[in-house]
Amino acid sequence: MDVALLGQMMAAGLFLLIILFLMSGYLVAFTLGGLAILVGFAGIWVGAFDGALFAALPNRFWGVLTNPVLVAVPLFVFMGVVLERSGIAESLLTTMGQVFGRLRGGLALSVVLVGALLAAATGVVGATVVTMGLLSLPAMMRAGYDPKLACGTICAAGTLGQILPPSTVLIFMADILQGANSAAQLSLGNFAPDTVSVGDLFAGAMIPSLILATLYALYVIWRAIVAPETCPPVAMTAEERAGLLSRVVSSLIPPVTLIVAVLGSIVSGVATPTESASVGAVGALFLAAVKLLADAMLGAEGDPRRDRQLMIFWLGFLVALGIVAVFFGGTGLLNFMLVVLALALVAIAASRKRGGMYLETVFRSSLTTMSITSMIFIILLGATAFALVFTQMGGGEMVRNFLEGMPGGQTGALLMVFLIIFVLGFFLDTFEILFIVVPITAPVLLIMGVDPIWLGVMMGVLLQTSFLTPPFGFSLFYLRGVAPRTITTPQIYRGALPFIVLQLVALGILWLLPETATWLPNELFRSDAPGSDGSAPPPAFDAEGGGEDEFL
């Protein structure tokens, strides 16, 4: 048998073996790396793989670990975990529930709104779903909500962290697409291709993620109109109504300010994603310190006097930020934040009890961050070994021939890749699909003329569905772990189905209106790009695109 054909057959077998082992419950990182190395040695034995390529693995691993773009991942994770553990997310959720609870469907609307805010402030799906499940689900059940609507809303709103910036998925997606786009453009003879940065994908995902959150909210409103008994209003006590405005302001300003600081510095070009992530981490430590000091010095949450004092503090803090920004710019803002954080830490250190609580929060947040980051990066290292063996055994050429031979050309190839990602989402985790499927399909699609930013956003939304699709949707598992026994697993599954349909609707909008993903990046980062002067922007994909040179 021809050695090249044998190598392609072994590459296909490697892909199927990995999917089978993952569906059987084996550890992801060791499945990816272990099977790749075993199949690689088998390829050496039959002459289909060059064993000298294994010597390049350590350098590849070191390149992954020292990638400056990926340094932003643990910082963003740390920012989100600190906000969750300090109680800031809990306070925001409780307050928004009181604001909207008096409306039919108001609690569900507050879950969607807070889910979007927490997604932009944390990006950690598990923490968001668990927090909302512990706080909102009991309140929704007491109010008489349909369990399916309540569970579906919480699970769907929690998954917004996978697509709404600053998303860790988008950071890895940008890194993969940057390499794939460079290789694809070189194969087409373009030796000066545009880069695909994290900022591009963050900007590209902004409008689609807002569209998705709007679709969720519209669905809740529709249910409130056609089936009002499924989402009744909640009566508020006099104590809850007292000081509601000051409570809203004091709860909203901290996370919104942090979101604006992090995302604003990225999309405006003031800071790189890594630098912005460091600002977010410092800001989260400051917000946690203020929250702890307020609890210790101003009384318990819900006290109107405490809420008024906090509101005055945060409004004054915003004014100070504005003054510093006008006179000293971004560097002055960062120095100002460091100074106020140091002052807050000094105030906390004055009390042994408060200092111990703060250190405990930071320590536990650091442990969680280390656990999440280690899990992600060890999967990435395993995927690096898989990509090396798969491509060098002819898998890349096999994938390219398969996609280019699809009926409909580029459109057929896109639909096939999207279908594969959607189906795998029923069984595999987001990062598993991201590190397995995207690196081997993206180069082919980019050679065929697909816009890399549009492709990244589309894949991001598709990967988000993997958190909701039964039977292995992780958001469903997170909620199952904190939901009361009166709520059954089938109810959680059925509640997620309408939101899966809404995600598919959002994908349809992105397909028909690719400018929803490409317009903002072109406006912000490519002032000389076609369409930036008001003319029609280029299509996200070109059915005539193609290329015949090798790209892997």
Note whether residue 169 is domain-resident.
Answer: no
- Structural domain including 327 reads 69-164+206-372
Note whether residue 458 is domain-resident.
Answer: no
What integer pLDDT is reported at residue 208 of this predicted model? 92
What integer pLDDT is reported at residue 330 of this predicted model? 64
Locate tokens 């939304």: which residue?
461
- Rounded CA gap, 469 and 462, in Å? 11
Q: What is the DSSP letter of 236?
A: P
What integer pLDDT is reported at residue 546 of this predicted model? 39
Q: What is the DSSP letter of 533?
A: T
Note whether residue 498 is domain-resident.
Answer: no
Q: How many domains does the chain have?
A: 1
Q: Which residues of 284-300 are buried (b: 16+ CB within 10 A; e: fewer)?
A: bbbbbbbbbbbbeebee
What integer pLDDT is reported at residue 552 of this predicted model? 36
Note whether residue 285 is domain-resident.
Answer: yes
Note whether residue 11 is domain-resident.
Answer: no
Identify the CA nearest to 153 among candidates 190, 195, 206, 116. Answer: 116
Q: What is the DSSP letter of 488?
A: -
Note whether residue 85 is domain-resident.
Answer: yes
Note whether residue 283 is domain-resident.
Answer: yes
Tokens coding 403: 């996609």
Where are the alpha helices (H) located in 234-303, listed in sequence order? Answer: 238-241, 244-267, 273-297
For the chain, 552 residues long, the average pLDDT of each consecutive 10-residue run is 77 83 74 86 83 82 81 83 79 78 83 82 70 80 87 88 82 86 77 76 89 92 90 74 75 82 74 79 84 72 74 86 78 76 77 73 86 83 83 79 81 89 80 83 87 91 84 78 83 90 92 91 65 40 38 34
| pTM for this predicted structure | 0.81
Written as one letter, the residue type at 529 is A
Note whether residue 319 is domain-resident.
Answer: yes
Sign of the Cα torsion 11, 27, 132, 256 reads negative
What integer pLDDT is reported at residue 532 of this predicted model? 40
- Rounded CA gap, 124 and 359, in Å? 22
| Residue 125 near residue 161 (C-beta atoms within 8 A) | yes
What integer pLDDT is reported at residue 254 of this predicted model? 83
